[in-house]
A and B are shown apart, each in its own frame.
Chain A
Amino acid sequence: MRLGRRNRQGGARHDRTDRCVADLVGALGPERVRADGAARHLASADASMFSDGTAGPVCFPDSTEHVQAVMRVAASHDRAVLPRGAGSGLSGGAAPLGDPIVVSTTRMNRVLEVDAEDRVAWVQPGVVNLDLSRQVAPLGLHFAPDPSSQQVCTIGGNVANNSGGPHCLAYGVTSAHVLAVEVVLSSGEAVVLGGLDAEPSGYDLRGAFVGSEGMFGIATKIAVRLTPDPESIKTLLLSFDSVADAAATVGAVIASGLVPAAVEMMDQRCVAAVEDFVQAGYPREAAAVLLIEVDGLSRGVEADTRKVAEIGRAHGGNVRVAADEEERALLWKGRKSAFGAIARVAPDYYLHDTVVPRSKLVEVLKAVYEIVDRHDLVAVNVFHAGDGNLHPLLAYDSRQPGANERVAAAGQEILEVSLAVGGVLSGEHGIGVEKRDFMEFQFTAADLEQQALLRRSFDPHCRLNPGKVLPSAHSCADVASLSASRPDGVWG
């Protein structure tokens, strides 16, 4: 893992891309290709702190045919290709290695077809997650996966990272809501994986594609399942004097047989940062707060709300139920802005993402606090407590000498603790470059070889998003194609 301040390399660069750019312009038209330093610099990073390469020309296709044309030009120049959605990823998935042609999907942003009866929508990959839900709201439907970044991230990015969100506890992550994907392969061929039937025959290639982090192909159309809005929703805010009480409450709620729509936890420091931004009345003095949502038919929701409140109080919690939709929206706005609100604490952050068994939450959290203290860092914790998906956020100032190294060391120790108690590497942010070199901690060489084989069967030349996910020993031609073209920078 290499941490560094976002992309500050400069330097001259001889432009071997001229002919390639000319071909791209020929295929797409000049208004859909940018090869200048400004555009390339900005396509060289996502929302993470990882960046090693620099974007080559940046393309803005608006159709499947455009994407196919880019793939063919890339093949003829033997160039790598990197799909890019909103660039909100946190694991460096959309941050280039080498100098790939970047395919930005932001102009492929149309909802193509909505079937309210079958609750299916065909969308282009650049449709913003929340825009889709807004657009189908009048039909009483929504797209269930709701990452905290849902106002900005694209459905294509959600599919590539198999993203989750607070409400995925009850409804399942992205994969459960994708029926079919039209994919442009590195050959330029377009294929449809999956289908609208309940049980499409043959292998579930759709399932393989979801979560492939831009390395199997570029999604150009996606059929998503739409979920009916619940008849009734209640949101409870529970505050506790200790993180252990909050964690015990989560365990007890789930053990009681309830399946809340969402169970989110924030610690004190996080609450403070969030409250400064939204002023939703989050209790600053509490050691931890839980945001629990129950939904369904009105009568059941009333009963579930009472039950959750009882369990919370039995664990010493203070309970507040959002009185109306406005209060509810404000509480969620706070939760969903938590990462950004961290800017109030320090100029840089590293957002971790691991999953541990729920029963180990308290133990792992204790270890996290101990690790960051020892490395003289500040940690803010905000996470999907219902499924044990931890998001320790390390706030720091990368200009302090040694800060990057301390963050990297603490990050690795947190991972090791999570894996030691039976957890996994990543809950929802993907592997990207961030966790690539840790894959060997979780998988055997044979496991990784199988993954590499799958990857090569989609993309034999390893042209798509090379160098990600799989550690170098398993990533076939990636290494060769990257070392062949280490660029110096975009301002040549």
Chain B
Amino acid sequence: MTDSLGLLGVDQAELDSCVACGLCLPHCPTYRVTGADTHSPRGRIALMRVVDEGIAPLSDEIVESFDSCIQCRACETACPGDVPFGHLLEATKEFVETTQRRAPWWLKLGLRGLTRPRLLRFVSSSLAVAQRLRLVPSRRMGIPERLPVRRRALRPTGDDVWLFTGCVMDAWQRDVHLATKEVVEATGTTVRPTGDAAPCCGALHTHAGLGDDARKLAARVISALDGDNAILVNSAGCGAALKDYGRLLDSDEARAFSERVLDVHEWLADRIDQIEMPDAQARTGGRVAIQDPCHVRHVQGTHMAVRRVLEPFVSELVELDDEGMCCGAGGAFSLVQRQLALDVRDRKTAAIDRAEADVVVSANPGCSMHLAAAGHAVRHPVELIAEALRSR
């Protein structure tokens, strides 16, 4: 096998590792809702191949096939041949963006804003005020219906571990960070939030094909978080991105950094016996349905840890029957591909309804906002744990 680069600049050995068996098809959310081969992983790979080999021009339909991918990477866990679909699509999106500059201006502007925490918090608080005055159509804009006007302070207690706070999540879901800190501290560990020094992980930039921006952000985050203490992450997308810095930057420093990154549940699972358990009455939540964010289940593979950690703190944990199918959020996907995101979400909503759950837990800000906008009560797993700890 060669790893020569064709027009697309992706590793051809990776492209060729797909034998077109089709076993990934039913796991792909976009193929599931449209039934079109152009919306399937096998189809997307075949189209990468014709572009790579110069057989076909980069037509609108081919670009649409790539852009309609949610990058949930369910096809990767389904693929018996280990085809690295995520890398292939990221490289492809970067090629499309550098040759055709297709990403919408408002998306690029928004993504730049993510790297400026003060501006982001200001815009967010202004939006929150505007919401209270009923000046913005939140649902149509795809933002939470009640953004926080003020945020409680997130103060460091020491240097045992970093808590990665990120961009949107810190502005919109500070409470989740506070809960995470509380739960981690309950194991006798001190926490330092990363705050504005490491403003954004760059996941959304990678997904949009803005590779240079993503690599710059990665370098910035790595230099801000030196030392060798663990970096805990409570957002599935950020965790997956930080763990991938080694590949993204292809340097020993980046690889060493990625080694330090842990999904917070993964970290807690090894220390759960250091926490004093609540008795049965203090357990929270009623019937709690677990919704696995794709970047927890299909990329980091830490979904079982979420169950292990959450189980002792809630009264009843129920599984959805859709085998970890994507909810359609996909970071900025739900803004860029509105209709597809809603169609995919309808399937998730049906699964949640079938589970007759009182509350849904999801360890990713994008998923929880997307699901909340459909009317579900959504919490982060650590929030339920923190509540149970408080009522001990």
Contacts and interface: CB of A to CB of B under 8 A. Distances in A.
A340 B56 contact: no
Contacts of B40: 42
B349 to A, nearest CB: 18
A43 B37 contact: yes
A214 B247 CA distance: 46
B22 A343 contact: no
Contacts of A36: 59, 61
Interface in A44-102: 45, 47, 60, 86-88
B20 interface: yes
A253 to B, nearest CB: 28
Nearest to B43: A42
Nearest to A42: B37
A37 B22 contact: no
B46 A41 contact: yes
Nearest to B40: A42
A104 B47 contact: no
Contact of B19 (A87, A277, A347): A347
B38 A38 contact: yes
Contacts of A88: 21-22, 25
A302 to B, nearest CB: 30
A491 interface: yes
B80 A341 contact: yes
Contacts of A126: 35
Contact of A6 (B46, B79, B83): B46
Contacts of B56: 10, 37-38, 41, 491
Contacts, number: 114
Contact of A130 (B21, B26, B43): B26
A237 B81 CA distance: 23
Interface string A335-349: 001111111100111
A337 B1 contact: no
Given A87-B22, A106-B36, A37 B81 contact: no
Contact of A128 (B16, B26, B57): B26
Interface string B1-43: 1000000000000001111111101100001000111101001
Contact of B80 (A47, A87, A106, A343): A343
B213 interface: no
Contacts of B21: 47, 88, 149, 339-340, 343
Nearest to B81: A343
A340 B19 contact: yes
A362 interface: no
B50 interface: yes
A278 B55 CA distance: 36
Contact of A37 (B19, B59, B64, B79): B59
Contacts of A34: 36, 38
Interface in B252-298: none
A277 B82 contact: yes
A42 B26 contact: no
Interface residues of A, number: 44
B178 interface: no
B149 interface: no
A6 B38 CA distance: 16
A87 B61 CA distance: 20
B65 interface: yes
Contact of A41 (B23, B50, B80): B50
B13 to A, nearest CB: 8
B23 A340 contact: yes
B23 A347 contact: no
A60 B83 contact: no
Given A47-B20, A343-B18, A42 B57 contact: no
Which applies to chain B's interface (DSSP): helix, strand, loop or mixed?
loop
A151 interface: yes
B62 interface: yes
B358 interface: no
A347 B16 contact: yes
A448 interface: no
A349 B19 CA distance: 7
Interface centre among B1, B16, B22 (most CB of A within 10 A): B22
B92 to A, nearest CB: 14
B22 A6 contact: no
Interface in A1-27: 6, 8, 10
A277 B80 contact: yes
A137 B18 CA distance: 32
A227 interface: no
A66 B37 CA distance: 20
B375 to A, nearest CB: 25
Given A47-B21, A106-B36, A152 B26 contact: yes
B53 interface: yes
B31 to A, nearest CB: 8
Nearest to A148: B23
Given A41-B47, A42-B46, A152-B26, A8 B55 contact: yes
Contacts of A39: 36-38, 61
A100 to B, nearest CB: 16
Residue of B36, B79, B82 with highest tally of chain A CB at under 10 A: B36
Contact of A152 (B25, B62, B81, B321): B25
Contact of A343 (B38, B64, B83): B83
Contacts of A344: 81-82
A295 B302 CA distance: 35
A256 to B, nearest CB: 34
A152 B47 contact: no
21 contacts: A36-B59, A36-B61, A38-B62, A39-B36, A41-B46, A41-B50, A42-B43, A42-B46, A47-B22, A104-B36, A106-B31, A130-B26, A151-B23, A152-B26, A339-B19, A343-B18, A343-B83, A347-B16, A347-B17, A491-B56, A491-B57
Interface of B: 1, 16-23, 25-26, 31, 35-38, 40, 43, 46-47, 50, 53, 55-57, 59, 61-62, 64-65, 79-83, 321
Per CB-CB distance, the 7 closest pairs between chain A and chain B, nearest first, are: A343-B81, A106-B35, A340-B80, A337-B80, A42-B37, A38-B61, A341-B80
Interface of A: 6, 8, 10, 34, 36-39, 41-43, 45, 47, 60, 86-88, 104, 106-107, 109, 126, 128, 130-131, 134, 149, 151-152, 274, 277, 337-344, 347-349, 397, 491
Given A337-B80, A340-B21, A343-B18, 18 more contacts: A38-B62, A38-B64, A39-B37, A41-B50, A42-B37, A42-B47, A47-B22, A87-B37, A88-B21, A104-B36, A107-B35, A126-B35, A338-B80, A340-B19, A340-B80, A342-B81, A347-B17, A491-B55
